[in-house]
Structure formats: structure tokens, C-alpha cells
Chain A
Amino acid sequence: MMTGNSVETHNLTVIYNKKPAIWNIDFTLPAGKIIGVMGPNGSGKSTLLKAIMGIIEPNIGYAKIFDKDLDDVRERVSYVPQRQSVDWDFPASVWDVVAMGRYARKGMLKRLSAEDKSIIEESLEKVNMTAFAQRQISQLSGGQQQRVFLARALAQQADIYFMDEPFVGVDAATEEAIINLLKSMRDQGKTLIVVHHDLHTAQDYFEWMVLLNTRLVRVGPVEDVFNQETLTETYGGTLTTLSKVASLLQEKSFPMRHK
């Protein structure tokens, strides 16, 4: 079982169009757990994930993964983007997409070895998509697309997985298959950070939770942070003064930090 910190953020702030999308996010997450990131629409869940992984450059603050800079642990980090973020009409087969997971280690130039290929096959096996390996990706159902994305992440053989809404638009069977997969990955000591928005299943799926609404509302073990009070705080509305200040920043073009 992995111990220690998986992710640590310091004052992490991302500004879109002069307005903070996430503001002063400060937390430490444990390793080897399934951690949910929850909050209403537009609360910055995806932005938080992308900022931690360096896909978006934070305007202020920084994030560390396994107590190191992202560039030093890149090989140990895997990402499952939102399914709708790509064009599934792209000319590629299921195999082609899962193979991308191996390119994380191979880089842009090296050829895939026999070992890579067997890892790709294993990953397909784990999400029950072996029969679809040669299928064109445009012919997949939503649940199958999500499985392909998961297989690609698995093929990376990483230690920490960031998943953006993996349960959106999938059938019940896929949802159950995915959560079982996540649990077995957790049992192997992997850390899973999952953006999710279904409150009904949250308690069953996650051990830890990050409640987010532009600012950090709560972070901690589910039993401590998931209750009526914190949910009201997260979903019930924005802090009026805080959002007023954010609007002022945007309107008046004030910088958030100055020398």
C-alpha cells in the first residue's frame, strides 16, 4: 500500500478571462485512495485537474505530485480526459487509441515493443474491450468510448490517475465495471482522483473527497466532509462577497497579484 502524499497544491489559482476559475486551492491528498472531486457546474473541477497536471499553466501557486515537480514524475501520472473532449470520428481504431498510453513512455519516436503490445492487450482485457480492438472508434457506444479511454490510461502503468467525469453518459453496466476497476487499482496501491457530479453515488465510490466551488470548500475523508452542511456550502451558492470581488477584478482589469 502506498503511503504519503499524492498531490499537494499551494495557492493554486487559474484565471480565465481575468476572472479566477479556481482560487487559492490549498490542499494535500493522500496516496492509494479513490478521491472524488465534486462541485457544481463551472466550479473549476476540470480546471483543477488540468492545473495539477500542467495542461494549464496556473497563474499563481503550484502543485506537486508525490512531493516532486510534475516534470520529474510525469511517467507516473495518467490522465483520462472527458469523453466529449475529443472527436470520435477521428481515423483511429480502439487499438490505436490504447497504444497512445504506451507513447507516454516511448516518446514520439521509439517503436512499440512486444512487451508494449502485450500491455496494450492486457489493458483492453481489463476493460473488457478485447473483441473491439480493431473497431473504428466512431462505431463505439458512449460506454465503450469511456472504456477505451480507461484502457489507454491503464496502458500507461502509472501510479496516479486523474479522471475527468468518467461516469458521464455511460450505461449502468459500464459504470459498475469502471468502479470495480478503480477499486482493484486502488487495491494495487494506485491513487485515483476522479471528477464526479452524481451526489447519490459519491459516498459509495470515494474514500476521500475534494468539495470545490471555485474556492476549496472542504477536503478530507468522506465520512468527515460529506454532509448536509458542506453540500449546502458547496452547491447552495457562491460566497457573495467573493464572487463580487471576482467580478470586480474582471470589470476593472485589476491584477490579482502585483509586485
Chain B
Amino acid sequence: MTFIREIISFFTFSEPNVKVVFLGSLILCAISGLVGTFTFLRKRSLIGDVISHAVLPGIALAFIIGHQKNVLYLIIGATITGWISTYLVEYITRHSKIKSDTAIALILSVFFGIGVLLLTHIQHTGAGSQSGLDQFIFGRASAMNQSDIVLFGSVGIVILVLTLIFFRGFSILSFDEGYANAIGFPIAWLKLILSIITVITVAMGVQAVGVVLMSALLITPAAAARFWTNKIHILAILAVLFASISGIIGSAVSYTYNGMPTGPWIVVIVSLLAFLSAIIGSKTGILKSWNLRRRNNVKILKENTIKLFYALNSEQPDNSGFQFSEIAENARMENTTLRSGLKLLRKEGWLIGNDRQGYQTTEEGKREARAIVRKHRLWELYISKYMHLQPDHVHDDAEGIEHVITPEIERELEEQLDFPKLDPHNSEIPY
């Protein structure tokens, strides 16, 4: 029960430090989600990884020069080496035979290696072990204090405002750089601002999740959000939301289990969100495909049921109501299925009546019946002509395809077949 008590104490901010941890993680994760949206859209995920590893030597150097853990110095140091690393990757790719994947691997490991060396050196001199520099590898949100939060908050607001101002610019830059350039957007400036924002976000974010996992916090929220939306604004909002949720839960867990690193937990949560998004959110996701199958089945049942009335109506045009048994006679479906089909059509307004009075098609129902029969017969004619099938081989295919033919395709069929009068069985095609 201590676990639950701890969780409650976290979310009620009963300890003053909790509020700091909570706010800090929230701010850092939210900004990562926002800025990461463009890293994701520009396909710069690996560059994010380079930056997050390359901030380590900057942090260590800032500590050596400043002789203590001052978050502002650390961020400045981190920003400088992070910036240098992206510049080097770009320079190497452009001016040598080395391709970008190699350049990325090279720079990432060199900077990280130097960072670990410097960190080890600091810890050996004694001061480092108390200063908690090792937390930068995996991140520990609980090490943040109030003045850190003020700093993160103010820098975060600046980044938010810049992103909002340049949202249009960043979007077009991400979609079509050449066009953005051609219409006179200041591409060089936009890229510079975006990469400075990204480096600073990473430099701050490593406080919460550490250098190893920072790129996941940058990319995963946007990747998860992409499953839910096709609109870039909503993508950014969802990415911020997902990142914030992970930040809150991750820091709560890290607080509850004393000494548990924050970073891995945040990343586990955000990855879980991405996994769920992939299953539920996407078109291929389980929910969507269930839904789609259900809607398809409803459409098929409706069209198959109304089709029965086309035959009935043409045999007895002035019948004032067909009995259920009459309808069921020609129906190639279970009686229960037919009943639910009839119910659907009544709800749709294609049918009126009931079992006692019999069923009758409305004007709309007659039109729909003609439409489905027309599609069926057009398709029969089409495949008998273009697939060279015998007239007795076309019916089964048309039974399936008639439901999927859109009005545009129907028009195409009509034009290609020159508005035919008769199908391959010499039945009339109703228009």
C-alpha cells in the first residue's frame, strides 16, 4: 500500500519538491513533443540522436569550468557542443565522400565518448559524485530544484512563442524546402532558428530523460500522434499531449520508487502510447478495421435486401405489401439476417410496413433498388466484355463487386459501355 500512498502524495504535491519535479518534467516533455514534431516531419530523427549524445561533453565542460552544477551553464555548454555536432554532420556530408548515416554514427560516438571521458574525470576528482552529474546519462527529474524550473519555464515559453510565430514557415520548410525557398521564405534563418530551438530543447530535456533516451522523447510523441491525424496543427497538439502524459507518469513513478531513473520510465510510457496508437489510431489499426468491416457489412446487407424488392416489384408492380414469406422465398440469406436487413431499410426510409401489413418500397427505396441492380448488371456486362467471360460466369463476381462501385466508377462503366440497355443475360439495365 505504500506505493499507492506514494502516488497519492505525488499528485497532491504534499511535499514541496514534488511540485518542482512535476512541473519540470511537464515543461521539458511538452517542449520536446512540440519541437520534435518538426524533427519528425523533417525526417531528422537521427540528427536528434546525435544532438542528445553530443550535449554530454558540453555539460561536463560547463561543470569543469564553472566548478559546480549550475543549470544555466550546463544548458549553455550543452547547446554549444550540441550545435557543433549538427554542424559537423552537415559539413562532413556535404564536403566529403562520407554519407550522412556514417557521419551521424561517427559524430555521435565521438562526442558521447568524449563526454563519458570528461564525466569520469569529474567523478574521480571527487566533486562529481555529489553533484549528480551521472544523472545526465539516464535523467533524474527529482534532481531539479525551483530555480531550474523557473529557467526551464522561461526558455520553454520563448520556444513556444517562436514555434507559434514560425509555424507556417517550419511547416512549409518540412514539406517542400525548394518551394519555400522559391517563394522567398528566409530558409537559412528558418533552419537556423529551428535547429537552435531543437538543440536547446535537447539540452534542457536531458535533465529529465538523460542523453541516451532524449531522442526518443523528441521523436516518439510525434510518431504516435501521426497515427491519429492528417492535420499538422493537431499533430503538434497531440504530440505535446502524449509527451506531457509520459512526463507526468514517468516522474511520478521515478518519485515513488526512490532512485528510479526518470528517463527510461518516460520513454517506456511514450513508447506504449505509440504502440497503442499504432493499433487503435491508424487505418490498419484494430478498431478502425473492425469499424470498417461492420460498416461494409451493413452496406452489403442493405443493398442485398433492397435488391430483393427490385425483383418483387417488377413481377407485381402494384402490390400494396409483400409478406415476409414472399420476400424470404428468393432471399439467399437466413431469416434472422433478412429481418435485420428489413429493419435497417425501414430506418433508412427505403421501406414502409411490417410483418402484418406487408412491406412496400418507398420512392427512395425504388431508386436504390434500381441503382444496385444497375451496378450489378453494368459490372456483368463489363467483365463479360473485357475479361472475355461467358454470361453464366459473371454473376458471382458481380454479387461482390456491386457493393464497392462508386458513382464515379459507375459513370465510367456507363461511358465505356456506351449506356447499354441489356446485360449479358438480356435483362434490362435500369437507369
Using CB atoms and an 8 Å cutoff, list the residues of chain A in contact with chain B.
50, 53-55, 71, 74-75, 77-79, 81, 85-87, 90-93, 96-97, 100-101, 103-104, 107-109, 136, 138, 152, 156, 162
Contact = CB atoms under 8 A, between A and B. Distances in A.
Interface string B162-198: 0001101100101110110111110000000000000
A78 B41 CA distance: 24
Contact of B183 (A71, A74, A86): A74
Contacts of B179: 79, 81, 100, 152
A108 B169 contact: yes
B231 interface: yes
Given A91-B230, A92-B230, A108-B185, 5 more contacts: A86-B176, A91-B226, A103-B168, A104-B184, A162-B182
Contacts of A92: 175, 230-232
Given A85-B176, A100-B179, A90 B41 contact: yes
B176 A77 contact: no
13 contacts: A71-B184, A85-B178, A86-B176, A87-B175, A90-B232, A91-B229, A91-B235, A100-B175, A103-B183, A108-B168, A108-B169, A108-B185, A152-B179
Among B182, B229, B230, chain A packs the most CB atoms within 10 A around the CB of B182
B182 A91 contact: no
Contacts of B183: 74, 79, 100-101, 103-104, 156
B232 A55 contact: no
Contact of B182 (A79, A136, A138): A79
B230 A55 contact: no
Contacts of A101: 183
Given A74-B184, A91-B235, A108-B166, A79 B178 contact: yes
A53 B182 contact: yes
What band does the interface of chain B fall in when counting residues whose beta carbon is under 8 Å from A? 20 to 34
Contacts of A152: 179
A48 to B, nearest CB: 14
A100 B231 contact: no
A108 B164 CA distance: 11
Interface of B: 41, 43, 165-166, 168-169, 172, 174-176, 178-179, 181-185, 226, 229-232, 235
B172 A55 contact: no
Contacts of B232: 90-92, 96
Contacts of B176: 81, 85-86, 100
A214 to B, nearest CB: 21
A55 B229 contact: no
A206 B386 CA distance: 37
B166 A91 contact: no
B185 to A, nearest CB: 6
A91 B231 contact: yes
Given A136-B230, A156-B183, A86 B175 contact: yes
Nearest to A50: B178
